[in-house]
Each structure stands twice: as structure tokens, then as C-alpha cells.
Structure 1
Amino acid sequence: MSIETLAHTIGKIARIDGDHPTAIPQLSLHRRSLKTEPMPCIYGLGLAVVAQGGKQVTVGEQVLDYGAGQSLLITADLPVVAHVTRADLAQPFMCLFLTLDARALMQQAAEMDLPPVPREEAPRAISLNALDASLLDATTRLVQLLDEPALLATLGPLVQQEIMVRLLSGPHGPYLRQLVSAGSPSHQIAQAMAWLTQNYVRDVLMDELAERVHMSPSTFRLHFRHFTGMSPLQYQKQLRLQQARHLMLYQALDAGSTAARVGYESASQFSRDYSRLFGAPPQRDIKRMRHQPTEGVGASSF
């Protein structure tokens, strides 16, 4: 298989610009014929493969530029700023995103004879690598299965399992193995992030959150910042603001009601934080969002 084959296969299905769900619930295809503006959003646990064009993702102070033939692995719900940097009508940006299941990864890792991963430090929650031939072949075959609906239910899970195996044993492997290894720093930080995702409205002392995942406060803050590129409080704030944007865009709530819904006591502070993250006050930003292509909004997107 070649990267051009994958681009052609995606292009046959994603014929127009947009984000395209597929008959495989975990798989989505993405096409853009123009560059896009930087957009704050949240990436979830999964694998992105660019088949054509290029994209930039910023996580805290880390900037990742990736394009055709590269794969991006995200191991936790992660606030990022993303935009398409290389795309035109002749060569549109085309990408696939495969959502991964943490429990399935844990089970698969337990069945494999994999080398141990050092536990001294949690690797970052995002990694970029060249797409090796075996992973390219497997992801291409998964997309091609969409043209064979009679075989999809039988072969789809098998190819997804193959992709998990290749991820665990390939260059992305240390990131995933740390994530699913109980007691590792990555696993502990991922637990804290999952708790914050479910309880972002609550005011919580970070020392209490550190205790919840059995870390000292100083160790917790160090590993959290290394893993996510931001402090725990910054992470919680971004969760609140992303959810606020989703509520205003899709439920037509006003800014004051939304601020209270996501845990803000002060509407003016909410507006300041919102403007700082999204580049415009809530009302103006939502109006803009309804009139331009985006890189995804809401609690989890690609």
C-alpha cells in the first residue's frame, strides 16, 4: 500500500469538505480544500493518519507540524489548538481518525509479550511518528472495508485489533503501554484527567486530586504539566470553556446562563477567559462559528 492509495480511498468516500462519520463507529474521515484558522478543540484517545496535505497542532508550548505519511497518537482527552496548513482544491487535506478504546488496549497489551516501559516519567499525551508500512497497510484496509458492507461486521473488528497490536508494538508503543500500565505516572495522570473531565464544573483543590491518584502534590503537578503541556487548573479551565462553547452553539444558551452551567461564579470572568482562549467574546465568537468552517467544537472532536 502507498500513502497515495490511502488518500484516493478516503477521497472516494469523503467527496466534499467536512467531517465524515462512517459505518465503522470508531472511524471518521476528514477533508478540507482550504487552509483553516487555528481552532481550540479537544482531541480524544485515538490515532490520526494524514493521507494528503498538512496540519498543525499546538499543545501548551509544543507545536507539531505533520503531513502525509505521518501518524499522530493522542492518549487522553487533550485541549489543543489545531488548523489545516496545507490544502487546496487540487490537493485537499485528507485524514482519518480512529478512536481507540482504553479497555481494549489494556486487554490487548496484557496478551502481548511487550518490553517494560520505564516509569520514572510520564511521556506526553501526544506523539508524532512516521507511518510505517504495516500500519499504513492496516489503516488503508480498514477504510477499504467501507466498500464491502457484507464483510464489515466480520473483518472490521479484526483489522482494528491488528491496528492496536501494531500501535502497541511500534514507535507509539511506549506511550500506549504507559497509559494502560496500572501504577505508571501516565496511568495516574490519565485517571486524574478522566475525573476532571467528568467533574469540571466542581471547584476542586489540586492537592485533593493528587491524593486521589496517590501522588504527592509536587509530583502530581510536575507529571501533569509534562503529560498535557499545561497545569491542572489550566486543563480544567479549558474543559469548562470548550463545554461552554458547545452549549452556546448547539443549545443556544446565553453567556450568563452558560457561565453558571460550567462552574463560573462570575460572568465577567467567564467572558474574559473565553475571549482569551477563543479570540473573541462569547456572542461574537458563536456568530463567527456559525458562518465559517471549523476544526471541530465541543467536548471531544478531531
Structure 2
Amino acid sequence: MYSTVHTTNQAIQAISVLAREIEKNAQSDGDFTTAIPGLSLHRRKTPTEPLHCIFNLGLGVVVQGNKQALLGDEVITYGPGHSMLTSIELPVISRVTRASAQEPLLGLMLTLDSQEILQVATEMKLPAPARGTVFRPLSIERLDERLTRDLIRLLELHDQPELVALLAPLIKREIIIRLVAGPHGPQLQHLVADGSPSQQISKAVTWLKQNFAQPLQVDELAARVHMSPSTFRQHFRAITSTSPLQYQKQLRLQAARQLMLNQNLDAANASGQVGYESASQFSREYGRLFGAPPLQDVRRIRLAEARIG
């Protein structure tokens, strides 16, 4: 549970301006990529069913409506006045809990680069997190006015496309600086602290994302990040709320789902491409994760998208 977020009048006004900028560029239900690398916009006019997904390293902001994320056994609710930082890629169950045609959910996601975070943290020469500080891979903090204004400036570049290549990297760097220096800072410092468990698990997660179709030997992955197998398993579960094998399974199933949706592959071909040797095992595990067999799930998604369109 998180305490109620108290915002100043200036912060509330800035959130209203950000909401107008998002609505201007997301005028119907859906998820919208933008000309700004790493920035996507999101709009929903009704609450949604729980959705299994992977939250990437990045900053999530909801300026209207409410969302909920289930990470392991922890339920995290956030909405206007909150900023959500995911400091390591996480398998979560996400859903919109408050939205209407009159007040649709409006939000954005800005993915971040771990190397740029490391560079900023190094240049700022901030002290390491206090001993005993608990690393939270998904943290919720107050959305302050300065950070909100930076996000507004980023969105306003839609009206100046010729300046995106020059200004977007500068504004994104400023956002990272504010995150590292602000309430989210201890979590990011854990992420980049040399030799910290969170940094080692982050490296393991990066390897899994790049090699999820390969057979996984957990002991070899532990050795790759210089941890004993037992310590590796302990820290991996503590940080991601799942085991390495279950994490790989979610990556495979998410990737197969996208292959079927975006490339019109059938279940047998999609399962083979993501590393499954047994099509029947793929169908069983797919149904357990997404609540329906592959063909039925894909049809359901396409029908929902058609209704939105």
C-alpha cells in the first residue's frame, strides 16, 4: 500500500496541461507510438481486464483515470499525481481500474536507457544508497511539477518535428537527472551500483530478454553474473517476484503472442520460433498465462481492437 500523494496547486495545474497534451495526440482508445524515441501514449474509455505484460525499464505516468499493477502478491494502484518507475524489466499483471467516456484514462510511458542512467549517476557523484535501503524494482512517488513540465516539453515537440532529433535527447536526459536526484533516485542508484545484487540481476534479465529462445541453464546464468546458484535464485525471485525459468516462459509466451498478432503466424510456427519443442506444451502454458488457447486469444484481441477502431 502507498500513502496518499499530496500535490501542490502548481503540480496539479501542470498535470492538467500534460493531460491536454496527451489527449491532443491520442484522440481515440489505444496505445500510440510517437516520433519521440521511447515515448508512447495510452488512452482507454473503459476499465480493462487484467493483462499479463512485461514492464520495461522506464517511467510511467497516469494523468487521468487509475491503473493497477500486480507484482507477485503486491497490488500497486496509481493515478494522477503519481509517477511509476520500473527500474528492471518485470512481468506484471496490469489493468485499468477507472476510466469512462467522459474521463478516459490518459497516460504515457517513457522507456529509459540503463547506460545513460549510469552515466548521469556517475557524473552527479551521488552517494550510494544508505545501508539497509530496500531495492524496489517498481516504485511509486509523487509526480512533482518540474518533472511534469519536462514531460510537457517532450510532448510539445510533436508540434516541432524538425527539432525532435536535437531536443528530445536533451529533455530525456534532463528527465533522467531529475529521477536520479529525486525520490526515485535510491532505486536507480541500486540499479547502477557496481556489484550490487540488483545490478547483477538486471544483467541476468537483459541476457534472458536477448536469448529467451535458447535452453536455460540457471546455474550457468548465475555464473554469468558472478553469483552462486542459490544466491542468484534468491535475489532473482526477491526482485522480479518470479523464478528465472518462469521469467523465461513469460518472455517466450509474450513474444509468441506478438508473432501471431503482428506476423499472422500460427501457434505451431510461433511456438517454434520462441524456443518451444512441444506445440502441445506451448498451448497449455499459453492458456494458463493468457486465459485462453492461442487461436482463441488472438481472435479475442483482434475483436477488441476492431471495436476500439
Task: Give TM-score scaled by structure 2 length.
Answer: 0.89
Quote the residue 1:269 is aligned against. Answer: 281
Residue-pair matches, total: 294
1:192 aligns with 2:209: no
**Residue in 2 aligned with 1:108?**
120
Tell me, yes or no, if the aligned pair for 2:84 and 2:140 is still in contact at 8 Å: yes
The CA deviation string for residues 19-38 of structure 1, in whole angstroms up to 9 with x for no partner, is 12222122111111111111
Identity %: 54
Deviation string, structure 1 residues 84-137 (Cα, Å, up to 9, x no partner): 111111111001111111111111111002121257787232111121222122
Looking at structure 1, the residues matched to 164 and 272 of structure 2 have their Cα atoms a distance apart, in angstroms, of 45
Q: Secondary structure at the match of 1:68?
A: coil
Using the alignment, how far apart are the partners of 2:252 and 2:87 within structure 1? 20
Residues 174-185 of structure 1 aligned to structure 2 (within 5 Å): 174-185=186-197
Q: 2:38 touches 2:110 (CA, 8 Å); kept in 1? A: yes
SS of the residue corresponding to residue 252 of structure 1 reads: coil
Equivalent position of 2:15 in the other structure: 3
Note the C-alpha offset of 1:76: 2.4
- The answer for unaligned runs of 5 or more in structure 2 is 1-12
1:138 is aligned to: 150
Report the residue type matching 2:59 in the other structure. L
Farther off after superposition, 280-289 or 256-265 = 256-265
Tell whether the 8 Å contact from 1:40 to 1:278 is kept in structure 2 after alignment: yes
Quote how far apart the aligned CAs of 1:82 are.
1.2
Where 2:84 maps in the other structure, the secondary structure is strand
Matched, 1:84 2:96: yes
**Which residue matches 2:3?**
none
Partner of 1:300: none
Contact 2:128 2:193 in 1 (8 A): no
- 1:50, distance to aligned residue in structure 2 (A): 0.8
Partner of 1:169 in structure 2? Answer: 181
Contact kept, 8 Å, 1:240 with 1:263, in 2: the verdict is yes
**Worse overlay, 204-213 or 245-254:** 245-254
Q: What CA distance in whole angstroms lies between the structure 2 residues aligned with 1:124 and 1:286?
A: 34
Q: Are 1:122 and 1:185, in contact at CA under 8 Å, matched by a contact in 2?
A: no
Q: Secondary structure at the match of 2:63?
A: strand
Q: CA deviation at 1:189?
A: 0.2
2:264 to 249, 252, 255: 252
Asked if 1:66 is matched to 2:78, the reply is yes
* Alpha carbons 2:137, 2:239 under 8 Å: kept: yes
Alpha-carbon separation, structure 2, partners of 1:175 and 1:119: 13
Q: Which has the higher contact order (CA 8 A, sep 6+)?
A: 1
Structure 1 runs of 4+ aligned residues shifted over 6 Å read 119-122
Give the gaps of 5 or more residues in structure 1.
Answer: 295-302
- Aligned letter for 1:277? L
Q: Which residue matches 2:255? A: 243
Q: SS of 2:17's equivalent?
A: helix
Alignment pair present for 1:292 and 2:266 = no
Distance 2:198 2:145 in 1: 28
Residue 75 (structure 1) shift = 1.8
**What is the CA distance between 1:141 and its match in structure 2?**
2.2
Name the TM-score, length of structure 1 as normaliser. Answer: 0.91
The letter of the residue matching 1:83 is: R
Instruction: Measure, in 2, the Cα distance between the counterparts of 1:276 and 1:186.
Output: 29
Determine the C-alpha separation between the residues in 1 that align with 2:256 and 2:233. 26
Q: Secondary structure at the match of 1:2?
A: helix
Residue among 2, 10, 13 paired with 2:25: 13
> Does residue 222 in structure 1 map to residue 245 in structure 2?
no
**Using a 3 Å threshold, how does the CA distance of structure 1 residues 101 and 145 change in structure 2: closer, same or farther?**
same
Query: Is 1:209–2:221 an aligned residue pair?
Result: yes
RMSD over aligned Cα atoms: 1.8
- 2:243 aligned partner: 231
- Residue 191 of structure 1 and its aligned partner are, at CA, apart by 0.6
The 3-state SS of whatever aligns with 1:287 is: helix
Deviations 1:144-200 (A, max 9, x none): 232233544443222211110010011111111121222111110011111111111
